[in-house]
Structure 1
Amino acid sequence: MVAPTLDSAIERWLAEDYGDSGDLTTSAFIPPDVMVRGEIRSRAHGVVCGLPIVRRIAARAAGTLETEPLAVDGDRVEPGMRVMEIRGPLAAMLPVERTLLNLLGRASGVATATSRFVASVAGTDAIIVDTRKTTPGLRTVEKYAVRCGGGRLHRLGLHDAVLIKDNHIAGLGASFSESIEAGSHACREQMRPRFIEIEVDDLEQFEAVLDLPSGTVDIVLLDNMDLSTIRNAVERRNQRRRGLLLEASGGIHLESVRAVAETGVDRIAVGAITHSAYQVDFGLDMS
């Protein structure tokens, strides 16, 4: 997330608390000259993520606050571990406390969930990739957190890569092969996407993709297929188009991801690492 974009996001996050009147409690009860030292500590096991963003929240909201990271994004944390020290006026620290802890907890939750999926497929050739099933307004943060947890970026949005899904295919009518081939060629020439991917629901559709000229698509998404069907698709790919990447997706959870990885797919898209990640608990202790 580039600085101007991050700064505008921070303004929105803080506005949720500040409203039009600011922090009424702090303004009424805390003198401006009271100085404190705060320590952000983890209250749970996990992977920390979001420390640079927390520093920017502190700097953006109140330039009088000084921050010192005691960990780096991607570090494993446990209860009681210090991850950052903040020094400055209590009246500046209190209004941003909840915003920075929420952001840190959310990003760390995504990183932690991702790390567990990545650990589950260790030793296979499969990588874990994210999806667009993210929290509105937090996509860039959550996708950064996925990388901190060891996962890989799929697409930032609709603007950087192509994914031809079932509803796109439904609009093509009977001219599947010609439409996909022509559209792919035009897209590469005019839009320069990072990749072109197509979704298939069964082996008949998969065979139709294998029949396309080499280079038409880069990745095939195997959507909601059982393990036997995925293995069959991998075997057919290996026989006919070894350079074509296969990505499994749909209802994949921590208990099943290892078995999916062992089918031989190259990528596993997991929406749960963002849409179902829990928040890692952090606290800000002041003295």
Structure 2
Amino acid sequence: RLSGGVLIRLVYEALATRYPGDVAVEDLLPDGSALESGTVIARLNGPVSALLTGERTALNFLIHMSGIASLTSQFVQNAGNTCVAILDTRKTLPGYRRLQKYAVLCGGGVNHRMGLYDGMLIKDNHLAACGGSVARAVEQARTFLREEGRGEIPVEVEVDTLDQLRDALTAHPEIVLLDNMRPAELQSAVSIRNELSPETQLEASGGVNLQTIGCIAGSGVDRVSIGGLTHSAVALDIGYDWQTR
């Protein structure tokens, strides 16, 4: 999948402020397009010096972001005919988060929270600091957000056992993250959720790869978050070939 095509033009526009010679960029495919061997993404025309100066920077964006988009697309396809959302995480390269999360969208995925400001995720260390009660931690988080005037922010809590899940659901959080649970456990978690708090979404995470995503998606969870989308995607092989008119 293509991602980062829009940045080709931006790279050469930035170069034009420092180096002489304008480069004309003709975009042939929109971001999110499926790519096959030999597909032409864009055509560039301009002075040799300007073209070659921007070559590596433009390619770096393209191969990295298209690799993320392509891997995301594979996960979406392997999830099968389910309604599960494939999400990224905050495990991104410093300074590249918005670009990497944009690439996930290009591959058909969904963005998780962008930072600490647009979603609250209560993890194991937070639970330990709150005395171990999952429900109490959720209630404290909601109280804090209301006092800060940010009551609309969703509260998500991480659990790794079904007993913790039951505790969490008494507080009716928006989302519960099921950490490293096997497909059979995930199915049990869905049944428990349906009984105790049907409005709560369940998110599976941990141990997710292209071989396991089908079983995980088929368990009935609503979302699957995958850190590897952004930290382990392999760069796509994209060339920058010269043609003389």
TM-score with structure 1 setting the length = 0.79
2:83 maps to 125
Aligned to 1:168: 126
Identity %: 42
Which of residues 181, 203, 220 is equivalent to 2:162? 203
Matches of 2:137 and 2:71 in 1, distance apart?
39
Q: How many residues align?
A: 238
Q: 2:211 aligns with which of 250, 255, 262?
A: 255
Q: What residue number does 1:237 align with?
A: 193
- Where in structure 2 are the equivalents of 1:1-287 lying within 5 Å? 47-62=1-16, 64-173=22-131, 176-190=134-148, 191-192=150-151, 194-212=153-171, 214=172, 217-286=173-242, 287=244
Cα distance change, pair 135–167 in 1 and its aligned pair in 2 (3 A): same
Alignment partners' CA distance in 1, 2:132 and 2:46? 67
Listed one character per residue, the Cα deviations across residues 199-248 of structure 1 (whole Å, up to 9, x for unaligned) are: 00101111111122x4xx20000001111211111101111211110000
189-198 or 201-210, which moves further after superposition? 189-198
TM-aligned CA deviation for residue 54 of structure 1: 1.5
Opposite residue 270 of structure 1, the aligned amino acid is: I
Contact 2:134 2:157 in 1 (8 A): no
Unaligned 5+ segments in structure 1 are 1-46
> Residues 176 and 127 from structure 1, CA distance in 2 versus in 1: closer, same or farther, beyond 3 angstroms?
closer
Task: Look up the SS of the partner of 1:268 in the other structure.
Answer: strand
- SS of 1:222 mapped into structure 2: strand
CA RMSD of aligned residues (A): 1.5
Q: 1:188 to 1:251 in 2, by over 3 A?
A: farther
Q: CA deviation at 1:189?
A: 5.0
Question: Relative to structure 1, is the Cα distance of residues 174 and 196 closer, same or farther in structure 2, using a 3 angstrom cutoff?
Answer: closer
How far off its partner does 1:122 sit? 2.9
C-alpha separation between the residues in 2 aligned to 1:77 and 1:259? 27
Q: Cα distance, 1:188 vs. partner?
A: 4.1
Aligned residue for 2:176, secondary structure, equals strand
Q: CA deviation at 1:90?
A: 0.9
Cα separation, 1, equivalents of 2:153 and 2:132: 28
Contact between 1:161 and 1:193, CA under 8 Å: does it hold in 2?
Answer: no
* 1:192, distance to aligned residue in structure 2 (A): 4.4
The answer on whether the counterparts of 2:121 and 2:158 sit within 8 Å (CA) in structure 1 is yes
Indicate the SS of the match to 1:199.
strand
Given that 2:134 and 2:168 are in contact with CA atoms closer than 8 Å, whether structure 1 keeps it comes out as no
Equivalent position amino acid for 2:104 in 1:
V
What are the superposed Cα offsets for residues 167-218 of structure 1, whole Å, 9 maximum, x if unpaired? 1111112565334313213314523454210000101111111122x4xx20
Q: TM-score, normalised by structure 2?
A: 0.92
Question: Would you tell me which structure has more strand in proportion to its own residues?
Answer: 1
The worse-fitting range, judged by mean Cα deviation, of 261-270 and 202-211 is 202-211
The 1:199/1:108 distance shift into structure 2, 3 A limit, reads: same
Q: How far apart are residue 281 of structure 1 and its match?
A: 1.2
Query: Counterpart of 2:50 in structure 1: which amino acid?
Result: A
Change (3 A) 1:174 1:116: closer
The structure having more radius of gyration, on CA atoms, is: 1
